[in-house]
Amino acid sequence: MSDALQVLTRRFGERCRQNGEELAALVAARDEAGLKLLSHKLVGAAATFGHPGLSEAAAAVEDQLDLGGWPDAAALDRLRIQLAAMADA
């Protein structure tokens, strides 16, 4: 991986802390549109930066939103944990 790509990958990891805070706010506000946008972005971005666990956790949340319901606690917890792990890495 080039130096530039390594920097971008590290920056993505650092931004996961902000994403975790955004997730908490969206869940507190029960903001479906905002959560859809965040989860969708994380599906693609996390996979692009080589974090399949985070991508899959975001996909599970997005899938439940696409089915018309608010994501269950397990899916939201999994996403929160994945984001926290990235932020602490």
Partner 1 sequence: MSRLSVLYADDEPDIREVATFALELDPEIAVTAVEDGAAALAALDAGLVPDVILLDVMMPGMDGPATLTRLRERPAHERTPVVFITARAQAHEQERFRSLGAVGVITKPFDPMTLAGRLRELLDA
By CB under 8 A, name the binding residues for partner 1. Answer: 4-5, 8-9, 11-12, 15, 36-37, 40-41, 43-45, 47-49, 55, 59, 62
Closest to partner 1 by CB, 15 or 73: 15
Closest to partner 1 by CB, 5 or 29: 5
Instruction: Please state, as a whole number, how many other Cβ atoms lie within 10 Å of the Cβ of residue 28.
Output: 8
**At its nearest, how many Å lie between partner 1 and the CB of residue 32?**
14
Closest to partner 1 by CB, 41 or 77: 41
Greatest Cα-to-Cα distance within the chain, rounded to the nearest angstrom: 42
Distance CA 72, CA 89 (A): 26
**At its nearest, how many Å lie between partner 1 and the CB of residue 4?**
6
**At its nearest, how many Å lie between partner 1 and the CB of residue 83?**
14
